[in-house]
Amino acid sequence: MPDSINILIIGDVLGKAGRRALRDHLPHLIDDHQIDFCVANGENLAAGFGTTIKLADELFCIGVDVITNGNHCWDQRSFLEEIDEDDRFVRPANFSKHAPGAGWTIQETRNGHRIAVINLIGQVFMSTWDCPFEAAERIMEDMPDDVHAVLVDFHAETTSEKMGMGWFLDGQVSFVYGTHTHVPTCDEIIHPSGTAFQCDIGMTGSYNSIIGMEKVGALHRMVTRLPQRFEAVERGATIFATKITVDASTKKTTNIERICIRPES
């Protein structure tokens, strides 16, 4: 079994544009970067509003190993039942105890490495979820000793809350990364105890938009403060992702790098 694990994290995949971009580029990314394990946030797969098992299968078929979620998790009502059909789905662990699905999972790479993926959601400027820090603490108490890497998708609004989680879990997990804002940050770092951190991976979707949505509708709501239906931009997606390398014997991250693939003009 190799000593290191190459892991690719893809931020919020938005709608048809994001799915098409991954279909065109993800298999090559996996080969070129020798990726052993891939995680994507799928809460926006259905035109920005939730996911379905059919849409998720498009990602599973091209190399994604686990799909995380966020505040749009239940926008597609069918997913309330579908989430329990596949243990490669996770939803925020600090959702209500009545929520279906699981807040973390362990999956194996082709080389036999066991990768734990935890999903959490923030409280600041979000809804009234349970405390993500307490949820993380409970999960880590139950984490088996034989996992080789632990990844945490923290779906949150503010940089401060995300940074807090990064320091809270320093030395316990391999990578704490943010999703939700759809804006990539260039603050990737490896903390002193070996935990990598990045405030937000960024969206895989169209940036000729307002966080993936058609500009006209979004601006209309901002200017008039009147209700307006949002429509996802279906063309010209940019892929934002982050690759980490983890020492399988220590769970510590040894390298982190951002990846960006822009649409062809």
Catalytic residues: 72
- What would the DSSP string read from start to end of 114-160? EEEEEEEE--TTS--PPPHHHHHHHHHHH--TT-SEEEEEEE-S-HH
* Cβ neighbours of 35 (radius 10 Å): 19
Token reading at 90: 């996770």
Token reading at 75: 């926008």
DSSP conformation class of 63: T
Q: Rounded CA gap, 160 and 247, in Å?
A: 28
Token reading at 105: 């999972």
Q: Rounded CA gap, 148 and 32, in Å?
A: 23
